Amino acid sequence: MIGISLNLPKLLLDAATVSAGLESAHYALPGNTTTITWQTFFGTPPASCTFKLWGSLDNSHYSVIDTGTVVGGEIRTINTNVSSVYVELDAISGGALVSVSLVPKDI
């Protein structure tokens, strides 16, 4: 699992070819993470999309902790206590070039 540094942005997903089911690698968060800010953006916006941010306390059992659906891209901030995350492009119609970044924070 890849570690992410506190307060530094990490590009979780960066793909030229977009399709439903596209997933990032799993990332370990710093132990004192209490807030996550994540951002989705596109080179060409799709007609519709659904991103799911998955989180785990034990690095093996994951649950959806947030969902994004804005086709123009968005920035979302959530409070959480998970120790690892990954992002999934659950559904998409059209569009090209997709990226997702994440910043773990201690606030």
What dihedral angle (degrees, nearest 10) is formed by the CA atoms of 86, 74, 100, 94? Answer: 110
Tell me the pTM. 0.92
User: How do residues 10-20 score in pLDDT, each as one tens digit?
Assistant: 999 998 878 88
User: How do residues 22-68 score in pLDDT, each as one tens digit?
Assistant: 999 999 999 878 899 999 999 999 999 999 999 999 989 999 999 99
Q: What is the CA radius of gyration of the chain?
A: 13
pLDDT at 107 (0 to 100): 67
User: How do residues 65-98 score in pLDDT, each as one tens digit?
Assistant: 999 999 999 999 999 999 999 999 999 999 889 9
